[in-house]
Structure 1
């Protein structure tokens, strides 16, 4: 399986604390869904930010299709085809839903977002800041459906969503992988029913205290899909 983007021996520090300890994290090219698992403080969010370029590495490299992009700014990675959906402040609260979607799709072709999340249609004139948490996550994830990105990174995509909408979200993200997009999501635990809902392979990396303690297909996890350390 070819690699789209990866961290190589990546280290990240926040002041005196090191959040990533020499992490190697290969992200396969489209066709697979990559899941980063870990409790709060494990380093999963930092790993996503390092790939996106929103936090600098103190050591190591970020390599994208064979090119070292470690010093490439986040906005340049975005122009190159990387879409990062953070867990917080992922929408423009003072803009309407339609305006948020327009920023992701200047040609105003919102069809992929509205087909994926039909509930957004009635919300188009609403200010994004007035939406519920689950509605804001739908809007945020919609960016990934509209940007025609080569790499999509989403931190806790289903936070605040109802179980049916969460399941739909993972179906949409897995479908992006089937279109050749490298998709990485970060979650505290394996999403329920994920393995049975996607035709694509699911690659799991579990982080613990800034280090990768497991990497492989989800079916290889000891004790089933909750993870080798019993994440639930």
Structure 2
């Protein structure tokens, strides 16, 4: 299986606190969906930020197709085809929904986004900052869908969404894996993804206190891994 992007021995510090303790994370090229699993404080968001370049490594490396990009700034990684959707401030609040979509795909139109989320059509003239939390996540994921990125990183993609919209979101993100390496961060494996393991490979990396404690297919997770107490 070809690795698109990966962390090797990644360590990240926030002041005196080390958030990642030598994390290895290979992300396969188009095909499987990669899920980072962990409670708040486990390090899953920091892993995404380290891949995206929004936090620097204190040790270790970030490799993209085998090439060390550890010193590349976030905007340089974005130019090379990396799309990062953070859990907050993932849209341009002062721009309209239509303007947000146009920035993601200036030459291609955004019909694909409206096909994915028909509810966005009525919101096109609205400023993104006036949308509900769930509507903003729809817009943020739509921007990722339109980006045609080689690597897509999404932190908690379905925050504030209804169950039906959440299921649609996982369907859209899974569909991206045909052409991109897709990583999502979640507190637990969503039922929509567990149900898809028979037809689509979902690879899970579970983190606790900045270290990977499990890696394998979603179907291999034991009940204690899914419901471990907050640490």
Q: TM-score, normalised by structure 2?
A: 0.96
For the Cα contact (< 8 Å) 1:12–1:21, is it kept in 2? yes
- Equivalences for 1:59-208 in 2 at 5 Å? 59-107=59-107, 109-177=109-177, 179-197=178-196, 199-208=199-208
Q: In the TM superposition, what is the alpha-carbon distance from 1:231 to its structure 2 partner?
A: 4.8
- How many angstroms does 1:17 deviate by? 0.2
Q: What SS does structure 1 have at the residue aligned with 2:191?
A: coil
Alpha-carbon distance between aligned partners in 1 of 2:168 and 2:64, rounded to the nearest angstrom: 29
Q: Distance in 1 between matches of 2:158 and 2:142?
A: 12
Deviation at 1:230, TM superposition (A): 2.2
What's the counterpart of residue 5 of structure 1?
5
CA displacement at 1:195 relative to structure 2:
2.3
Structure 2 unmatched runs, 5+? none
- RMSD of aligned residue pairs (Cα, Å): 1.2
| 8 Å Cα contact 2:170/2:192 also seen in 1 | no
Question: Can you list the C-alpha shifts for 1:119-166, whole angstroms capped at 9, x where unaligned?
Answer: 001100000000000000000011111011000000000000000000
The structural deviation recorded for 1:194 is: 1.4
User: How far apart are residue 229 of structure 1 and its match?
Assistant: 5.0
Unpaired runs of at least 5, structure 1: none
Number of aligned residues: 228
Q: TM-score, normalised by structure 1?
A: 0.95
